Amino acid sequence: MIEGLSHLTFIVRDLDKMEAVLTTVLDAKKIYSSGEKMFSLSQERFYDIGGLWVAIMSGAPLAEKTYNHVAFKMGPNDYDDRLARIKSLGLHIKEERPRVDGEGRSIYFYDHNNHLFELHSGTLEQRLHRYSKT
């Protein structure tokens, strides 16, 4: 039986740059670094982001940007602060897709390795409720 999400792993060119993204934008707490040791495929670091285990491993970045993404929940009043944090790191911000009222707000941004992240203020329940009205 599936109990839920275990962890997310991102392969990145520069562990320090990705750590800056995770800690600055997503308030990640670093909980482990392999240093020069390799217990897995390469050097790795583990973080806690809102109770979720997120791992980063050294390796080749994604070849291109896509819409495949991971979305983290933010509060409805966090938009401006999170946007400023993303801009402070010089990350590429993707234009938000059109939304209907009541769906929440999102910020989409790419890290230095072409991973797309979304910060979203809505919930599944809100989205389903809004979509049921059309």
63's CB contacts (< 8 A; 6+ apart) are 114
Catalytic residue among 44, 95, 96, 103: 44
Q: How many CA atoms lie within 13 A of 68 on its CB side?
A: 7
CA distance 53 to 75: 20
Q: Confirm whether 44 is a catalytic residue.
A: yes
Active site residues: 44
